[in-house]
Structure 1
């Protein structure tokens, strides 16, 4: 998912306005191959270079580790199929928001939007940039972990640069994304092919007694799934563009059935490649798993690995920046956030205030957090709403029987996904409680307070505090309401 050019964004605005006037949605030219590539390109990012160490740390052995990676792929596929039925039943872009609105009303939908704005999207951006910083700094600290202050400063610098690029020249960000996506696929191919060659040469000693010394418990499996599912996050991205997918009744489920298993195979093969050259202990001691793999397999060309992994992670961060910025923009337009956040740059036609807001929140997450804590924080929040959304599918099977369902999956699939979601949310709290989960709950509850004050009672944002802030920032950033551009 690259950044959208200024002209494309303007078309989105105009098409949105036309839709509100005549009830017609714009049908884009996205075909099946585009859907598959979008799933693969969106899912494969920083996670596969960061999560293997954490997954292994939670389960303790090679066998359970590979099993968790495969199981995460199965869960992501089942969840995506649930979203496929929702996406073809309620053909509105916006992901979970319209489904929650249809099933449970505006409050859960607003809480999803609120949590996305302040928890899941910014923390995801922060995790990806921290991953980039770890791999970019690893070659300069051989044999030891880079200092945290170096990682955090480098991650903050990455956020600032990406935010500036997407605010000032989104077209440049789009060109940059094409290069970074190619780099991502190159490094994935190099690791997989190297692993297959090593296996063919008989490097299988690390797979003997693969379940020995495993440390499996209710909580450890949930935390392992958190880290594994982080690498699969993005499995529901096609639902954000349902209106733009050609023949969605056919191409949406086919993209899921082909795309996510393809990613699962890649992830399992990458982990197998890691274990061909590292024992469990060595992998856990590695400061950057892919860097250690490159040092042992590709020397003296091992510098390729951290370079291309850095490209891959920064590409993922760049690819998420605009889409998340657009979510902030929509929230501002709907009155769920400051109206200023829905303003558009006059010269560049980019949602600059929304993107800058998103970058600032991400930097705040970087200051106190580390990657593992942020992943747990992110996964806890996101699976609350994934589970709630799949539950909405079950509820609407009984409350909205009148809705057309071009894709109808067996009821057992959403039931299984809902139960797994409940386990994923409750297990870490019960077995290994952390303050991060409490903070997440507080953020979600604060969203309810904001809804009551500013949406239900329509408290005017523009009075007293927000009006002078809006006026000064509007002059500084040279932004205006979107209506003034589209008219």
Structure 2
């Protein structure tokens, strides 16, 4: 019961905070970020000290008896991709960045190597104190690591891990709600999701809708299945998106591109994504088909909501009433509305 209450309370509180005040959310995320980095730096320092004491036996033949099945390797990547999944979410906030065509690439070029380096060093610290089997069997590696090396001070890491997870959830709520908002603004989601709260200028309808979806997804008892479903679908659409960019680079080479990278980068990226999409079909076809089934449920919604232009009068009246009700509940309006009136 306590776990269920936590699952409902935390997303609800963060959705409320994102809708109430963006600046307060950003400040809170800065605190969470420093706590997360502090926890990782602490783990790395402890690992360095631990290895300096001669505890390096777990690095001896560390790849012995490894499973080299390509399908299992691809599935293993999904957990890693989930951990690094925030790499693309900054793009959703482009409209709210100052000088985005300069600051967005700069943020990506700085953050990705930094985060990758910190995570690699943290994993080395984990492996210095835990065996591969202990790593695989642990539900919270940082907590297991703390219990193994910190003794009576082990309670520090669970608190910092909880703060880190709380901050990560806040970032996902902020960025993903902008994706829904922009999609609705461009006609790909119900129009009510493309409205802003008049007082705080936040996409409150999208935040509430996203919160509801999150609570539904939390009904599963197997987080690994949820990760695989989400990552397969995300990998598919990221592959299609980057492939589309490659197509445009080929067909319209003179198109204006405020942010442009070397053509080799997206080509290598697409090849890796294809590897992650194709090989799991052989290893776990049920998971792949489940993710594909979730994706295909959007096709009838697309035809009913977007492709079908000549909708009956009763349907148009229903949607109009739903939009008006949403505007009243969330005190929201479309961004083109003159808020001074």
Whether the TM-score (by the shorter chain) exceeds 0.5 is: yes
- Asked if structure 1 preserves the Cα contact closer than 8 Å seen for 2:177 and 2:203, the reply is yes
Specify which of 253, 262, 267 is matched with residue 401 of structure 1: 253
Query: Which residue of structure 1 lines up, in the alignment, with residue 318 of structure 2?
Result: 465
State the number of aligned residues. Answer: 337
Runs (5+) with no aligned partner, structure 2: none
Matches within 5 A, 1:242-391: 244=97, 246=99, 248=101, 255-391=107-243
Query: Which residue of structure 2 lines up, in the alignment, with residue 161 of structure 1?
Result: 13
Query: Which residue of structure 2 lines up, in the alignment, with residue 431 of structure 1?
Result: 283
Provide the C-alpha distance between the structure 2 equivalents of 1:335 and 1:462, rounded to a whole number of angstroms. Answer: 16
Deviation at 1:214, TM superposition (A): 0.9
Deviation at 1:378, TM superposition (A): 1.4
Provide the C-alpha distance between the structure 1 equivalents of 2:185 and 2:260, rounded to a whole number of angstroms. Answer: 33
Query: Which residue of structure 2 lines up, in the alignment, with residue 479 of structure 1?
Result: 332
Deviation at 1:406, TM superposition (A): 7.5
SS in structure 2 of the partner of residue 484 of structure 1: coil
1:456 equivalenced with 2:301 (yes/no): no
Provide the C-alpha distance between the structure 2 equivalents of 1:394 and 1:485, rounded to a whole number of angstroms. Answer: 39
After superposition, the Cα gap between the structure-2 partners of 1:398 and 1:178, relative to the gap in structure 1 and judged at 3 Å, is closer
The TM-score normalised by the length of structure 2 is 0.88
Query: Which residue of structure 2 lines up, in the alignment, with residue 185 of structure 1?
Result: 37
Deviation at 1:365, TM superposition (A): 0.7
After superposition, the Cα gap between the structure-2 partners of 1:341 and 1:238, relative to the gap in structure 1 and judged at 3 Å, is closer
Give the number of the structure with larger relative contact order, counting CA–CA contacts within 8 Å between residues 6 or more apart. Answer: 1
Query: Which residue of structure 2 lines up, in the alignment, with residue 442 of structure 1?
Result: 293
- Asked if structure 2 preserves the Cα contact closer than 8 Å seen for 1:332 and 1:340, the reply is yes
Query: Which residue of structure 2 lines up, in the alignment, with residue 234 of structure 1?
Result: 86
1:420 equivalenced with 2:272 (yes/no): yes
Provide the C-alpha distance between the structure 1 equivalents of 2:25 and 2:107, rounded to a whole number of angstroms. Answer: 26
Deviation at 1:252, TM superposition (A): 5.6
Provide the C-alpha distance between the structure 1 equivalents of 2:39 and 2:28, rounded to a whole number of angstroms. Answer: 17
Runs (5+) with no aligned partner, structure 1: 1-148
After superposition, the Cα gap between the structure-2 partners of 1:321 and 1:462, relative to the gap in structure 1 and judged at 3 Å, is farther
After superposition, the Cα gap between the structure-2 partners of 1:328 and 1:406, relative to the gap in structure 1 and judged at 3 Å, is closer
RMSD: 2.7
